[in-house]
Amino acid sequence: MVGAVGFEPTTSWSRTKRATKLRYAPPTRVRQRCARRRAIANSFGRKDLRPPLRRTPFAVLATGGALRENGFMNAVVDATLPDAHGRFGVYGGRYVPETLMHPLQQLEEEYARAEQDPEFQRELTYYLRQFCGRPTPLYLAERLTRELGGPKIYLKREDLLHTGAHKINNAMGQILLARRMGKTRVIAETGAGQHGVAAATVAAMFGLKCVVYMGEVDCRRQELNVYRMKMLGAEVVSVTAGQKTLKEAVNEAMRDWVTNVRHTHYILGTAYGAHPYPMMVRNFQRIIGDEARRQILEQEERLPDLLVACVGGGSNAIGLFYPFLQDASVRMLGIEAGGEGIIPERHAARFQGGSLGVLQGARSYILQDEQGQIQLTHSVSAGLDYAAVGPEHAWLRDQHRVEYSYATDEQALAAFGALARLEGIIPALESAHAIAAVMERAPKMPRDQVIIVNLSGRGDKDVAQVAARMKL
């Protein structure tokens, strides 16, 4: 099935445009429901049913055009997307088999109700604080700052959350939704294993069955997290198809969901996939940026000059960036996996070698050949080793609101060691890509500026792999 979630697409962009018109035509009832929800929201003076972005009096808000500073384009963008069809401009949407259209619509409607339900929000806030460990600190990395000789560098310590990464924010939100919908079983995909551990954790906490799909290659290089998931009671399915990494794990999870959709909820782990997942995951992760904004104003009495985060599917990055999108003074930098360099099939930097296409439910930038076949990817980091990027990131890049670059394996490994030696913090290899970018750029920036880096996860899972590569 061309362009469907869980199946390999064979479409180039020219064919994707035609497929869009043929495959995505929401039923009249769905359009009517969307119109009714908008009418209800407007009657209360709201433009939509999502929480409005908070604006800051400390920023100079542009009403049009863009502000260029140090190579960044700081355009202020409309942050009310996605639209009613789940699109961020030409990106996003819902490209799935007919079997999944109804459950996705149900999920969208239930999420809209939950978002407006004070009891759901109270419960989510309680578990994020009491079980997950929020708020996480915003830590001034003094020795790293001195070593680089540039601006102050703050680390948003998502690595200190229960399970060791930001993934628990989204997993907790989705397990509460699954309970509201009466589901008794959850499934998840995972690359680095952190999302799998988070899904297994919340499933154990609430007594739901859990199955996690993980590529065979990733099972080997993230063996510690495989053990953790099994100890938490989850079934871990090693996927042996294709490249045996994250893309294939998503394929298998989607096949499972199609078969068991009546009693199963898919806890998708990143800001990708069919609508409403990119929007829903972003909103569950925006607590990262909301906290960082409040904390930096308390500590520095000003907004940061630069936000930096690694980008695989992009959930930790959009979680940090989203609350700052309308602050023109704040620049943002997303770092992809440069692997062994921008050589076909030896990296996972979608904005460096990708093109527009459809993969696993959404339209975005994808690493594919001229025939639309998905290319092999590579990264030392299992969590960034993926052929597509979240649709909102693709849109933000087009709007010149966020700059996207990459770090190679060697740069990430060097940053991994540097942060451990200088700050006593062992980062996940995913987060080390963001640290590598800061190590490259900070020495060129004025000392009176401020950087916030999202330290999205801790590196316990990567120690054996790094030790082997560095021959420790």
Active-site residues, by number, are 167, 189, 456
Length of the chain, please? 472
Asked if 416 contacts 466 with a C-beta cutoff of 8 angstroms, the reply is yes
- Say if CB 453 and CB 153 are below 8 A apart: yes
For the chain, count helices (H), then strands (E). Answer: 18, 16
Output the DSSP codes for 309-375.
EE-SS-HHHHHHHGGGTT-TT-EEEEEEEEETSS-TTS-B-HHHH-EEEEETTEEEEE-B-TTSPBP
Asked whether the beta carbons of 343 and 311 are under 8 A apart, the reply is no
Whole-angstrom distance, CA of residue 96 vs CA of residue 218? 26
Residue 149 exposure: Cα atoms within 13 Å on the Cβ side: 3
Q: In degrees to the nearest 10, what's the CA dihedral of 111, 113, 115, 117?
A: -140
Alpha-carbon distance values, 154 to 70, 157, 260, 319 (Å):
20, 9, 44, 16
- 20, exposed or middle or buried, with CB in 10 Å at 0-12, 13-18, 19+? middle
* Long-range CB pairs of 61-70, under 8 A, 24+ apart, other chains included: 61/326, 61/327, 61/328, 62/328, 66/400, 67/328, 67/329, 69/331, 70/331, 70/445
- Here the tokens at position 248 are 């294939």
Between vectors from CA 143 to CA 137 and to CA 146, what angle results, nearest 5°? Answer: 120
